[in-house]
């Protein structure tokens, strides 16, 4: 627990460490109210810590119906992320509590991670750097060596599932690489750039060399990538998921990797986070996992904090913005 400053609103941040492990400043937020910051909050601590709060900021701490109803002073919940499934928005609305999120702060960073994954898989920079640090190149007979497939992206077909902010940014980068860009999207062809070709979902999976997931998680898209769909993909295909973990059936993906049904999987998200030791993807062949860090570049976190502060100020000024539970 840190920092207090007396003005109007009592503001509690329940899990501030992920956004700001120490390289950002809370000072502008503290100008707006009495701020209490907790690095982390366990489920059993939420009500006690927020009992006097008028405004709460949360990233992953859950505010379900029971918790919300136990906080009579609460007027505002600010989610420090784009997704807001950690809050029971219906109950919040019933209680007269406004819920806001942080839209589109990490678009470029997430698109960058998509290509970090793709380039790692196609060029294996980390692998060769590791090999060379133990003397392999220095002791090599020839001037070069390689023991993995090396793949050029130009001319390859990439399929993007969902053309929202991150999907569109990924498409733009793919086009710059000289790739043939396809997408599954509800947008009409005339509403998307000329370099993107719309495809039905199953055709996209069967025809593309790389498939990248950028759709929201809904009942319809849960386990969109399953054993049946994986079986239609090229054996050389690469699957990327920087969206939501449950978009894929993780056991089915692990089986497809181990059986050679697809060539590789790069993901920044899992169905349960942190990763469970039993997750089959942790030991699957040609599976490259990063710990949900696509959003966490310094630049994206600065944008997130600035939008968070703007959201808080807008609420205090009586003109709330980025409301998700109207």
Q: How confident is the model at residue 4 (pLDDT cuts 50, 70, 90)?
A: very low
- What is the pLDDT at residue 126? 95
Same domain, 129 and 276: yes
175 in any annotated domain: yes
3 in any annotated domain: no
Residue 111's φ and ψ, nearest 5 degrees, are -60, -35
Q: How confident is the model at residue 1 (pLDDT cuts 50, 70, 90)?
A: very low
Query: Taking residues 195-224, what's their average pLDDT?
Result: 97
71 in any annotated domain: yes
Same domain, 274 and 284: yes
Instruction: Tell me how far apart the alpha carbons of residues 251 and 228 are, in angstroms, rounded to a whole number.
Output: 13
**Tally: H helices and E strands in the chain:** 11, 12
pLDDT digits (tens, 9 = 90+) for 124-142: 999 999 999 999 999 999 9
Query: Taking residues 187-202, what's their average pLDDT?
Result: 96
Query: Taking residues 66-78, what's their average pLDDT?
Result: 98
What CATH number is associated with residue 311?
Answer: 3.40.50.720
Same domain, 62 and 150: no
pLDDT digits (tens, 9 = 90+) for 272-319: 999 999 999 999 999 999 999 999 999 999 999 999 999 999 999 999
177 in any annotated domain: yes
175 has pLDDT over 60:
yes
Q: How confident is the model at residue 110 (pLDDT cuts 50, 70, 90)?
A: very high
Query: Taking residues 143-167, what's their average pLDDT?
Result: 97
Q: How confident is the model at residue 3 (pLDDT cuts 50, 70, 90)?
A: very low
Lookup: tokens for 91: 């109950």
Catalytic residue annotation: 244, 273, 292
6 has pLDDT over 90:
no
Question: Which long-range contacts (C-beta less than 8 Å, at least 24 apart) are formed by 290-295?
Answer: 290/113, 290/116, 290/117, 290/266, 292/268, 293/113, 293/268, 294/106, 294/109, 294/110, 294/112, 294/113, 294/114, 294/242, 294/268, 295/81, 295/105, 295/106, 295/109, 295/110
Same domain, 196 and 274: yes
Same domain, 137 and 202: yes
Question: Which long-range contacts (C-beta less than 8 Å, at least 24 apart) are formed by 26-30?
Answer: 28/309, 29/305, 29/308, 29/309, 29/312, 30/3, 30/5
Q: How confident is the model at residue 2 (pLDDT cuts 50, 70, 90)?
A: very low
Same domain, 147 and 77: no
- What is the pLDDT at residue 228? 98
Query: Taking residues 170-192, what's their average pLDDT?
Result: 97
- What is the pLDDT at residue 5? 43
161 in any annotated domain: yes
Same domain, 175 and 233: yes
Domain hosting 51: range is 9-105+298-316
Same domain, 64 and 170: no
pLDDT above 70 covers a percentage of the chain that reads 98
2 in any annotated domain: no
Same domain, 129 and 164: yes
257 has pLDDT over 60:
yes
Q: Mean pLDDT, the chain, as a whole number?
A: 96
Query: Taking residues 152-172, what's their average pLDDT?
Result: 98
- What is the pLDDT at residue 80? 98
**How many structural domains are present in the chain?**
2
Same domain, 227 and 270: yes
């Amino acid at each position: 627990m840190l920092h207090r400053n007396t003005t109007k609103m009592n503001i509690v941040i329940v899990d501030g460490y992920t956004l700001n492990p120490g390289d950002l400043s809370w000072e502008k937020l503290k100008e707006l109210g009495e701020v209490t910051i907790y690095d982390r909050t366990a489920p059993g601590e939420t009500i006690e810590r927020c009992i006097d709060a008028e405004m709460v900021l949360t990233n992953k701490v859950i505010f379900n119906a029971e918790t919300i109803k136990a906080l009579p002073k609460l007027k505002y919940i600010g989610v420090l992320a784009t997704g807001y499934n950690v809050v029971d928005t219906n109950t919040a609305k019933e209680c007269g509590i406004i819920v806001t999120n942080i839209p589109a702060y990490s678009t470029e960073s997430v698109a960058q991670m998509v290509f970090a994954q793709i380039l790692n898989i196609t060029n294996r920079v980390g692998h060769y750097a590791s090999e060379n640090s133990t003397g392999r190149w220095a002791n090599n007979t020839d001037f070069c060596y390689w023991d993995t497939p090396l793949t050029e992206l130009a001319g390859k077909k990439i399929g993007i599932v969902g053309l929202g902010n991150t999907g569109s940014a990924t498409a733009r980068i793919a086009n710059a690489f000289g790739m043939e860009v396809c997408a599954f999207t509800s947008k009409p062809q005339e509403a998307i750039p000329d370099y993107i070709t719309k495809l039905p979902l199953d055709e996209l999976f069967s025809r593309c060399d790389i498939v990248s997931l950028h759709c929201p998680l809904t009942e319809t898209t849960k386990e969109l990538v399953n054993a049946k769909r994986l079986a239609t993909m090229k054996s050389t295909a690469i699957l990327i998921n920087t969206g939501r973990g449950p978009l894929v059936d993780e056991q089915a993906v692990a089986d497809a990797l181990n059986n050679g049904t697809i060539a590789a999987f790069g993901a920044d998200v899992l169905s349960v986070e942190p990763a469970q030791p039993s997750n089959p993807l942790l030991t699957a062949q040609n599976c490259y996992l990063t710990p949900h860090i696509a959003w966490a570049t310094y630049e994206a976190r600065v944008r997130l904090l600035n939008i968070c502060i703007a959201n808080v100020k807008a609420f205090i000024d009586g003109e709330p913005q980025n409301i998700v539970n109207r």
